Amino acid sequence: SFLYAGCGYGGSCFPKDVQALERTARANGQELLILRAVEAVNDRQKHVLGGKIVSRFGEDLAGRHFAIWGLAFKPNTDDMREASSRVLIAELLARGASVAVHDPVAMPEARRALALDFAADPAAAARIRFCDSPTGALEEADALVIVTEWKAFRSPDFGQLKTLLKTPVIFDGRNLFEPDAMVAAGVEYHGIGRSVLTRAG
């Protein structure tokens, strides 16, 4: 169930297990290049959404505002360890953007994790708004970015979404939606590992 295109894995198990296997191999005189590749590709995938956003909106994101749905490293947990959302938020804030974030379960843990991430940069931390609902995060956002594939995010009201967003743009880090359906709904859609970038209109 983990073998699908996305914006990277996290948590405590996968990263730790891959590193442990690599250390065990080295201790026995073996070099398992595939494990290095797994880590390298996963690290790269965590930057894919940020790259897509920069390609769409430009290098300087000052004054831009992004809604982020999903903070935990996977659905049905509040675990923020190695979560892709933390990498994305750091990239967006470093480029001057502000973010409004929502997760159905992980909000308390996300507050703690992000407070640690930005302890040395209170000005950046001030550009994170924690929202109690998915729609609350959408208000006046330049785009919606989906990072965790929570079931609650799979069937949004696209009419309401288009009303709340400044521009109807979705960056889907988990490929929850079909591009053709997004075009039909009047949404500009950016998925992961999909060759066609669809734009409404």
Alpha-carbon span 11 to 106, nearest angstrom: 13
Per-residue DSSP letter, 99: E
d(CA 169, CA 68): 12
Contact 54, 131 (CB under 8 A): no
Helix ranges (DSSP H) in 130-169: 134-138, 158-164
Yes or no: say if 167 and 143 are a contact pair by the CB < 8 Å rule. yes
The closest of 115, 175, 17 to 196, measured between CA atoms, is 175
Catalytic residues: 13
Q: Which residues are bridge partners to 102 per DSSP?
A: 69
As a whole number of angstroms, the distance between CA 72 and CA 150 comes to 10
